[in-house]
Amino acid sequence: MKPTIWVEKYRPKSIAEVIFQDERQRKQFEAYVAACDIPNLFLSGVQGTGKTTISKALIRDLGVDRADVLRINCSDEKIDALRSKVSGFAMTMPMGKFKVVQLEEIDYLSLDGQALLRSLIEDSSSSCRFIATCNYENKVIPPLKSRFQQFFFRAPDKEKIAERMVEILESEKVDFDAGYLLTYIDVGYPDIRKTIQLLQGNIGSGKLLNPSQVSNSTADWKFGLLDSISSGDFKKARKLVCESATREEHEDVFRFLYDNIDKLKVKDKDAAILVIADFLYKHTIVADTEINVAACFISLGKS
């Protein structure tokens, strides 16, 4: 059966299909494939930008046998299980040149787990390559990171995302208005996974729905936020964020405002950036992040 989840259906199978923000990264990965070998790799950065995709694509492009791949999700692994899984896997001979251990969400590993992993990597370096992915590289201890070649993933260009989304919509035979599509991209940005999910979730009778009509029903406050900041209604924006965004999402609000600075209806964009930066800084030290976000909108309204 064909997969119906677009995120999986359109996951790039090889490095050649991946969207890169930095083409030098593509060249580097292609060079590994050409050399038929990889160092231990550490892929970190924004979620939904292709880290897991690249680790899978590399394994495929390198032609690594299925039996030579061990995938571990570090967020649900106990330390003893980690030890026995990795050392058991590394003990037997690889079918091919080397084995690959995929370490997903390595930033969730406890400090003890990280220390253990460091020694496991050392012990199995002759037969195993490790590919680690995570969102927050600063949660990983330097002595562990230094065992890897690091790659940092930034948000890709909106134009490149737009091209890919057009390909997806066309191959799904969905009619769409280009302006609507750009709004979905703005809302999902920089997370490509989320953008694809938003598109798939907002189709009615073969058409991409008008995002201003889905804003209330699909509970994605970013649609409403984009609407209100573009019209300069910062009071509405403030109410919306305070009512709908979770505490974990407050930090996203600043990045979202910054990413959409062109649309922000303010007299002085430079001053607005200073306001956003100032409140983002305060975000890390205040006790109540909601009040801080609210204050940011009030300041923007006056700038």
Ligand X SMILES: Nc1ncnc2c1ncn2[C@@H]1O[C@H](COP(=O)(O)OP(=O)(O)O)[C@@H](O)[C@H]1O
Q: Does 94 bind ligand X (CB under 6 A)?
A: no
Residue 109 gets which letter from DSSP? S
**Stretch of 48-56, 84-92, 115-123, 235-243 contacting ligand X, by CB under 6 A:** 48-56
Work out what residue 82 binds among Mg ion, ligand X, none; the CB cut-off runs from 5 to 8 Å by kind: none
In sequence order, what are the beta bridge partners of 208? 203
Three-state secondary structure readout of 16-38: HHCCCCCHHHHHHHHHHHHHCCC
53 binds, among ligand X, Mg ion, none (CB under 5 to 8 A by kind): ligand X
Residue with tokens 């209806």: 265
Query: Does the footprint of ligand X cover residue 185 (CB under 6 A)?
Result: no
Q: Which is nearer to ligand X, 10 or 148 (CB)?
A: 10
Partner whose footprint covers residue 114, from Mg ion, ligand X, none (CB < 5 to 8 Å by kind): none
Distance CA 226, CA 99 (A): 46
Residue 100 carries which DSSP code?
E
Rounded CA separation 76/53 (Å): 20
Q: Report, in angstroms and rounded to the nearest whole number, the Rg of the chain calculated over CA atoms.
A: 22
Asked whether position 44 contacts Mg ion by CB under 5 A, the answer is: no
3-state secondary structure of 190: coil
Binder to ligand X among 25, 40, 44, 49 (CB under 6 A)?
A: 49
Q: Is residue 192 within the footprint of ligand X (CB under 6 A)?
A: yes
Q: Could you say which of 25, 40, 44, 52 contacts ligand X (CB under 6 A)?
A: 52
| Cα torsion 70, 107, 136, 121: sign | negative
Binding Mg ion (rule: CB under 5 A), the pick from 21, 49, 52, 215 is 52
19 binds ligand X (CB under 6 A): yes
Residue 21: CB minimum distance to ligand X, A: 8
Residues 266/300, Cβ–Cβ less than 8 Å: yes
User: What distance in Å separates the CA atoms of residue 132 and residue 101, rounded to the nearest whole number?
Assistant: 8
Near ligand X by CB under 6 A: residue from 44, 102, 124, 133: 133
**Among 198, 113, 111, 151, residue whose Cα is nearest residue 27:** 151
The correct pick among 40, 44, 53, 183 for binding ligand X (CB under 6 A) is 53
Round to whole Å and give the CA distance between 180 and 209. Answer: 8
51 binds ligand X (CB under 6 A): yes
Task: Compare residues 16 and 291 and give the one whose CB is closer to ligand X.
Answer: 16
Contact criterion met (CB below 8 Å) for 19 and 161: yes
Please tell me whether residue 172 binds ligand X under the rule CB under 6 A: no
In the complex, the smallest distance separating the C-beta of residue 135 from Mg ion, rounded to whole angstroms, is 8
Question: Under rule CB under 6 A, which residues in 100-119 are in contact with ligand X?
Answer: none
Shortest distance (Å) from residue 75 CB to ligand X: 13
User: Locate tokens 């890709």: which residue?
Assistant: 156
Binding site for ligand X (CB under 6 A): 7-8, 10-12, 18-19, 47-53, 133, 164, 192-193, 196
Binding site for Mg ion (CB under 5 A): 51-52
